[in-house]
Homo-oligomer: A and B are copies of this chain.
Amino acid sequence: MTGRLVIVGLGPGDVAMRTPQVDAALAGATDLIGYGPYLQRVEAAPDAVRHASDNREELDRARHALTLAAAGRRVAVVSSGDAGVFAMASAVFEAIEHGEPQWRLLDIAVLPGISAMLAVAARVGAPLGHDFCVLSLSDNLKPWPLVLRRLDAAASAGFSMALYNPVSTARPWQLGEALALLRDRLPGTVPVVFATAVSRPEERIVLTDLANAIPAQADMRTLILVGTETSRLIPRGEGRAAFLYAPRGAV
């Protein structure tokens, strides 16, 4: 077992937000595995092999990475953001648990990255400065009523929220239903941020509120932040975007 598997998070896009630890792991890899557009953003050794895949077959990709590492390769599995937040790390551990016994003996490390929620929060102020929940709106792997139940619990207990995977072509109506539930539980003035491609050239940030939030403001790359009744907006004038933050004592 001389192979090594690292599961790395690239951060939101800007290389200035990628950690040196991740850069070093990428430079030392013989094989890089991940969604094609992410792999394109990565610098690696000249002779490194890039195994691009589409964004769906996560378990296949994980098994492929483990097979290569078990054969002695130094493999980097690449996610955007943080690999442990709705990304490849869980898929790799699922593959290990249900796969070859010797995979458990491999040298395996997860290297954290700046997650989308942290990058988006920093971009608009400090909206996650107090208690918050992080949810995926995807019902590919869990029943939709459970998503609604968790949204309900988070809103009712006064958590801010970071919502991942808000829409896809296969999930066109779920976001509208999620926003409708939140409008039932919270005042329409609660701030909502739609953030797409943060730190990348095509970055788009929309700061609105629950009453005016519409699903068309999101695509599959969008992260949504939902505040609380105690969220604060600081207008700045002169064409500057307002700051949004959660007071430290947000009750």
Chain A, range 1-40, C-beta contacts under 8 Å to B: 11, 14-21, 24
For A21, give its contact among B17, B121, B150, B248 (CB under 8 Å): B17
Chain A, range 99-155, C-beta contacts under 8 Å to B: 104-105, 108-115, 118-119, 121-123, 125-136, 141-143, 146, 149-150, 152-154
A83 interface contact, C-beta 8 A = yes
Chain A, range 175-208, C-beta contacts under 8 Å to B: none
For A16, give its contact among B24, B127, B234 (CB under 8 Å): B24
A54 interface contact, C-beta 8 A = no
A232 interface contact, C-beta 8 A = yes
For A110, give its contact among B18, B94, B125 (CB under 8 Å): B125
Further contacts, 19 of them, CB under 8 A, given A90-B129, A90-B248, A131-B134: A20-B20, A84-B122, A89-B126, A89-B129, A90-B130, A90-B245, A93-B243, A94-B245, A97-B234, A97-B245, A104-B236, A105-B238, A111-B122, A115-B118, A141-B248, A150-B157, A150-B158, A150-B159, A154-B157
Q: Residues of A with Cβ closer than 8 Å to B? A: 11, 14-21, 24, 58, 82-87, 89-94, 96-97, 104-105, 108-115, 118-119, 121-123, 125-136, 141-143, 146, 149-150, 152-154, 156-159, 232, 234-238, 240, 243, 245-251
